[in-house]
Amino acid sequence: MDPFREERSSVLGLWMFSVLLQLLNDPLAGIPGPIYCRFSRLPYVYWVCTGRLVFRIKELHDQYGEVFRIAPDEVQFINPEAWKDIFGHKTQGAKEFPKDLRFYPMPPGGVRDLLTADQANHPRMRKMLSPAFAEKTLREQEAIITSYVDFMVGKLRGMVTKQEDGAVYARADMVKWYNYLIFDIIGDLTFGKPFFCLASSDYHPWVSTIFSSTKGAIIANNGDYLPAVKYLAMLLLVVAKPRLVIDRISRLKYSVNKTSERLASQTDRPDFMSYIMKGAETGQPLSKEELDANADLLVFAGSETTSTFLSGCTYFVLSNPRVYRRLVAEVRGSFNSEEEMTFASIQRLPYLSAVMQEAFRMYPPIPVGPPRKVPEGGAVVRGISLPENTAVAITQYAAGHSETNFTDPYTYTPERWLPDADERFASDRRRAVQPFAVGPRNCIGQNLATAEIRLTMIKMLWHFEAELAPECENWHKQSIFGLWEKPPLMIKLRPRER
């Protein structure tokens, strides 16, 4: 005889009763989606932990359309106009959609930064940080950024040697080299000194902690969706992966120390801190703890995403010989010498712009859809009335690969972005691609990122004949743990003959 039979029956009955109540009182009942996603976040968390969330969202959009429900309290969109509804500037009387902080790992020091600040503090932080990313500032930083790109090119040229097949070229993992480059640039602009990754041809230990701690933090953060098991999940992570916790603590300590060193130094060089400190003289300054948190954010957000995009863009260009030849012709036909390659002149290459836009569509640096929450009182998104606290999101990968938004969405075709694009692309909904988001909380560093990308791509195409190594044929087929989990991108580089 089972002594717990009655107890189990009671628990099962209560669960079934709660499910029935949820069905009867479900304000999102009219939104399509998998039946199992109506009752639990478990499927969502499982997809995150297996690196499949983004691809599953794409599959579910294919099945259910432009709008579907992925969790009891979350709705996904891919219609381009949803960007404005959710993220855009609000008219008088309309409320901003706050960020769903369950999605974001708490910054290492426990102090909110620009990315995760609430609506009361975000405008103040943005005002203090904005001068560091103004067009005028970027022009003043041009020489610094260019020097690092030139240094990387020189290091790669120095790797050219006679290979086993008898040919003369360099074999380089461009995932690493783009990381070395961008982390050195951002380290210099944030702390006044680079990480010396390029000089050593290796990662600085602190940079390594960023890579090692991010995946674990993203997986562990899913505990916020399942409060009943949150602390158990965190405990299991600490026991199973203690290195992740140690690396996260080391990352914060390094940021704090480097920020303190930079603040103590007397220099007028045009880095981020000099502009932030100047802004503090006329506005409400950031606290030391907020400076530490934002310095850590600037290094991570300003480096990983840009280097990731450079890797993805390089891969797609080299995977398409026609695109590569046309881009090389544009770059080498637009300049007579490297001295002509300025931040102003590199903006005037239309095919490069199209190449970048198409790479943003195919391989968005942030492929996930950071959710917002419907504000108090509810709101309407694409004609659908949603109750307050409903999470809403646009997953970049799904929007960019939707047949509703783009013709031949899995084909890399930069020409779709040109003014004289073929008529078959006339129905493309280009505004679905928003790699830097929109509205008052869009990416503050987008001008810097695009300048770094343009200059790096141009310099590489100017100096080298490039070829994708055979083993990287399907490089883009990766898992996603918040960010792309990138394998090596091996490229053959031959110095250009002139």
- Position 256 scores a pLDDT of 87
- Position 255 scores a pLDDT of 85
Does 102 reside within a domain?
A: yes
- Give CA separation, 448 vs 132, 136, 138, 194, in Å: 10, 11, 7, 17
Does 12 reside within a domain?
A: no
Task: Judge contact between 448 and 302, C-beta under 8 A.
Answer: yes
CATH code, domain with 113: 1.10.630.10
Does 7 reside within a domain?
A: no
3-state secondary structure at position 348: helix
* Domains contained in the chain, number: 1
- Position 426 scores a pLDDT of 96
3-class SS letters over 193-256: CCCCHHHHCCCCHHHHHHHHHHHHHHHHHHHHHCHHHHHHHHHHHHHHCHHHHHHHHHHHHHHH
- What the block records as the tokens of 275 is 């502009």
Task: Judge contact between 394 and 366, C-beta under 8 A.
Answer: no
Residues 423-477: tens digit of each pLDDT: 999 999 999 999 999 999 999 999 999 999 999 999 999 999 999 999 999 999 9
How far apart (Å, rounded) are the C-alpha atoms in residues 30 and 40? 17
- Position 9 scores a pLDDT of 54
pLDDT at 411 over 70: yes
Q: How many other C-beta atoms can be found within 10 angstroms of the C-beta atom of residue 268?
A: 7
- Position 237 scores a pLDDT of 67
Does 416 reside within a domain?
A: yes
Does 3 reside within a domain?
A: no
Residues 364-408: tens digit of each pLDDT: 999 999 999 999 999 999 999 999 999 999 999 999 999 999 999
Does 5 reside within a domain?
A: no
How far apart (Å, rounded) are the C-alpha atoms in residues 174 and 156? 10
Does 398 reside within a domain?
A: yes
Print the domain residue range for 121.
23-495
Residues 360-372: tens digit of each pLDDT: 999 999 999 999 9
Does 316 reside within a domain?
A: yes
443 assigned to a ligand binding site: yes
- Position 91 scores a pLDDT of 84
pLDDT band at 202 (very low <50, low <70, confident <90, very high): very high
Residues 274-297: tens digit of each pLDDT: 988 877 777 778 899 999 999 989
- Position 18 scores a pLDDT of 56
- The whole-model pTM stands at 0.93
H or E stretch covering 352: helix 350-362
- Position 170 scores a pLDDT of 96
